[in-house]
Structure 1
């Protein structure tokens, strides 16, 4: 009666003395040596505010996972000198630092166009990115670990994505190259 397609997936067969949850726990203990060699890291995950937002913008996130009390605010800022729009995600400590509201190069004060809790922004916008949204509480051991270890934000991806490869690329590099080409034409 056992489906032969599943036969190839069997790693170990153990005899247990109990039924139900106790039997299941006993089977895990008896199989611990075999299970320790099983790799489960698929690389199809992302965590942290910056990496999760990058993956979200790429459409790579299948399930967005956010702590229900995530205390990060999304600021839409405008540089009054260049009319450039800048989006920053700041926690309370960062928001209290005035340097986050000034242009790093010119020290021009950035004008706040919009201010919204990132949690609310996710709740309103997640469908536009083609993903589902799941909230996590920190009242369980796993939820608490997610909040402490991953900053309370992460995602399960549609496909494997190496976020480190995107750290080297920046918009500034693209603009610098195009400026050099324009200088040659003078």
Structure 2
């Protein structure tokens, strides 16, 4: 299947950057987003079934806007919806699947977006070892 060959090639390139320790790779939601904001990501690689939601939260006392990326387990923990310092409630202004947010926003970061599966050995390793999100 052509898609799997492309996926293997893409993830192979990603692993190559890591093995050569070029510093030209990121993984995980926070580091990948930081690198995107700096314009340092050429190719954003995301697992097609990434189950993380992007929340725009508003502090009920200060009206400060906070952005959090939470998986299902973290969503169940109400502490993620309270301010750590004041215990003020964080109201949900917006909740969007991170996959959908990436699909709508990636262009403004100057990168391309590639979805991968966990059906190939490389794809599975990318999802397990790197949280299903990264960039080169």
For residue 42 of structure 2, give the secondary structure of its aligned residue in structure 1. Answer: strand
More strand by share: 2
**Aligned with residue 62 of structure 1, among 42, 45, 61:** 42
Structure 1 counterpart of 2:116: 136
Equivalent residue, structure 2, for 1:76: 56
**Alignment partner, residue 11 of structure 2:** none
Residue 119 of structure 1 and its aligned partner are, at CA, apart by 0.3
Pairing partner for 2:104 from 124, 134, 143: 124
Among 15, 37, 51, the alignment partner of 2:31 is: 51
Q: Alignment RMSD, CA only?
A: 0.9
Partner of 2:9: none
Q: CA deviation at 1:41?
A: 3.4
Is 2:101 aligned against 1:154?
Answer: no
Q: CA deviation at 1:91?
A: 0.3
Deviation at 1:40, TM superposition (A): 3.4
Residue number in structure 2 paired with 1:87: 67
Higher relative contact order (CA 8 A, sep 6+): 2
Deviation digits for residues 22-60 of structure 1, max 9, x if unmatched? Answer: xxxxxxxxxxxxxxxxx7332210001110011011111
Could you tell me which runs of 5 or more consecutive residues in structure 1 were left unpaired when the two chains were aligned. Answer: 1-38, 157-186
Match of 2:7?
Answer: none
| 1:97 maps to which of 77, 82, 87 | 77
In the comparison of the two structures, how many residue pairs are matched? 118
Q: CA deviation at 1:80?
A: 1.6
Higher Cα radius of gyration = 1
